[in-house]
Amino acid sequence: MFRIIKSVQIVLIAVSLLLTSAVTAQTSKQSEYKGAAPKYIFFFIGDGMGLSQANTAEAYLGALNKTNGIQKLNLSSLPKQGFYTTYASDRFITGSAAAGTALSTGGKTTVNTIGMDAKRQKPLKTIAELAKEKGYKVGIVSSVSIDHATPAAFYAHQPTRNMYYNISLDLSKSGFNYFAGGGFKNPEGDGKHIEKNSMANFGMGESKELEDKEPNSMKIAEKRGYRFVNTVKDFKKLKKGDDKIISIAPNLSGGSALPYFIDQNGKTDISLAEFTKKGIEILDNKDGFFMMVEGGKIDWACHANDAATVIQEVLQFDNAVAEALKFYNKHPEETLILVAGDHETGGMALGFSGSHYSSDFAVLQHQKLSYEAFSDLIKEYKKTKEGNYKVEDGLALVKKHFGLGDTEKKLALSEFELKQLKAAFEKSMNYKKEMKKDDQFYLLYGSYDPLTITACHILSQKAGIGWTSFSHTAAPIPIRSIGVGSDLFVGFYDNTDVPKNLMKLIE
């Protein structure tokens, strides 16, 4: 027995020494880096994108090609891989503001704080601000509003993410060269109330009329030399050398964000990839550029546990990464590409207890619109029917837009699933705000329309996907990289180390 215990101790000591030496080697590699600074830096952040979100998209593509495996995304082709922890200074499960600040400044802060220390007293310099000081042109691109938590963390310094008006003033104060994607949430002020409805951060909830309007922050941006572009025609006219551009999507959905990729129209909408491609064209110059691109609605779709929409948002994000890779292939000795995430959302798992070991990711192709668009249909139905609701109508809408109940699509409904949908329809038609206070209601539907979320859950389960939360999780996040200095981003470390290493490279 003594010999066995002794042998186990020796093995544990050996493993400990190996891990210690690996960490030491990584730390040494970071501190001793003497290579050139990258001339072109792409920093992609998939908001809410953990390992599962990307892998689910790959499994979906594999299923469409009738393989029992995956089809790799562009981002998975990046050769250097790492993971990092995400906790905030005041909470183990972080929020987008604290995580964005960690990734932009290298400093831990409190949940909801933008670009400031944990006490919300001291502004922290961001990697984008440092890049500008060093002569790089700077671009910030996002599929959500450009004053949302993650993009804001690269140019703003405010005590709370909900101070959208102050954040939008910081935007034009930054002097960055290119902003693109969503619009401004509150360009005429936040009013005497800071929005307490957290769902407003996910593009949901009614906007409020302001009694006391502030000077319009978009007008202030124009006075500071910025030009707004918000049509497809004018967007296409933008060219290399254009400066101080704020390009806003022509069609904005809830929360002043781009429509979900699954809902976009290729002729009248501008995708995240197109905004990225145009950013490369505008920013490219002899002194180089830094561009942060956020796939912000991956997070929103994960909050709603909408697997099909999550996949499409990951694919839109990956299309943007593809544009950076095209540029990299022309400038491999001068370019660094990082693909990261701020946190995981939803506790998305490639496996559901009810499906045992079965997966059928291809069924997700039968969902034709996002949870947001379907919720809008339910609202319209409720409004037009004026109390004359029929459960058969709800089931017909679910069948039309999710495929659920269509036996030809292998989406027959069990008796239990039908019962779930019927109960959810009744709750949707008789919804009252006080229902949100009920624990059972929240565990079933979160803060979303009951019929919508139930349809999303049943389709996810038929695909073999499980969800544990309507919120963020603390899972470590993968980071992938290629190019100049990419060796610094290999290993397992903290999210604050990412910008610290970027700053070393730029310095």
What's the rounded Cα separation, in Å, for the pair 101 and 152?
9
Domain segments of the chain: what residues? 40-348+471-506, 353-463
DSSP 369-391: S-HHHHHHHHHHHHHHHTT---H
pLDDT value at 2 more than 50: no
Q: How many CA atoms lie within 13 A of 24 on its CB side?
A: 6
Instruction: For the sheet with 227-229, list strands across it.
Output: 227-229, 245-248, 178-181, 137-142, 289-295, 40-46, 335-341, 477-483, 80-85, 491-494
**Band of residue 12 on the pLDDT scale cut at 50, 70, 90:** very low
Question: Hey, what are 245's tokens?
Answer: 């551009």
pLDDT digits 0-9 by tens, 446-502: 999 999 999 999 999 999 999 999 999 999 999 999 999 999 999 999 999 999 999
pLDDT value at 204 more than 90: no
Which long-range contacts (C-beta less than 8 Å, at least 24 apart) are formed by 223-230? Answer: 224/172, 224/173, 226/172, 230/183
Average pLDDT, the chain: 92
What's the rounded Cα separation, in Å, for the pair 134 and 507?
8
With H, G, I as helix, E, B as strand and everything else as coil, classify residue 142. strand
**Band of residue 28 on the pLDDT scale cut at 50, 70, 90:** very low
Q: Which residue has the tokens 């038609």?
A: 429
Locate all alpha helices (DSSP H) within 106-250, ordered by sequence: 127-133, 149-152, 164-174, 217-223, 232-237
What's the pLDDT score for residue 208?
Answer: 66
pLDDT value at 14 more than 60: no
What's the rounded Cα separation, in Å, for the pair 253 and 233?
20
Average pLDDT over residues 405-415: 96
Residue 424 C-alpha from the chain's centroid:
28
Q: What are phi and psi of 169, to 5 degrees?
A: -70, -40
pLDDT digits 0-9 by tens, 39-61: 999 999 999 999 999 999 999 99
Give the distance between the most distant pair of CA atoms in the chain: 80
Q: Give helix 272-283 / helix 307-330 axis angle, nearest 10°.
A: 20
Of residues 157, 160, 161, 141, the one with CA closest to residue 149: 161
DSSP single-letter state for residue 446 = T
What's the rounded Cα separation, in Å, for the pair 232 and 59?
33
Average pLDDT over residues 211-234: 94
pLDDT value at 246 more than 90: yes
Average pLDDT over residues 285-314: 98
pLDDT digits 0-9 by tens, 97-124: 999 999 999 999 999 999 999 999 999 9
What's the pLDDT score for residue 200?
Answer: 80
Positive or negative torsion for Cα 91, 93, 97, 99: positive
pLDDT digits 0-9 by tens, 140-199: 999 999 999 999 999 999 999 999 999 999 999 999 999 999 999 999 998 754 555 667
Positive or negative torsion for Cα 75, 76, 81, 84: positive
What's the pLDDT score for residue 196?
Answer: 53
Average pLDDT over residues 420-437: 91
What's the rounded Cα separation, in Å, for the pair 145 and 152?
10
pLDDT digits 0-9 by tens, 334-376: 999 999 999 999 999 999 999 999 999 999 999 999 999 999 9
**Band of residue 24 on the pLDDT scale cut at 50, 70, 90:** very low
> Percentage of residues in the chain with pLDDT exceeding 90?
85
DSSP single-letter state for residue 168 = H
Average pLDDT over residues 378-401: 96
CATH of 40-348+471-506, one of 3.40.50.1100, 3.40.720.10, 3.30.300.20, 3.30.390.10: 3.40.720.10
What's the rounded Cα separation, in Å, for the pair 414 and 405?
9
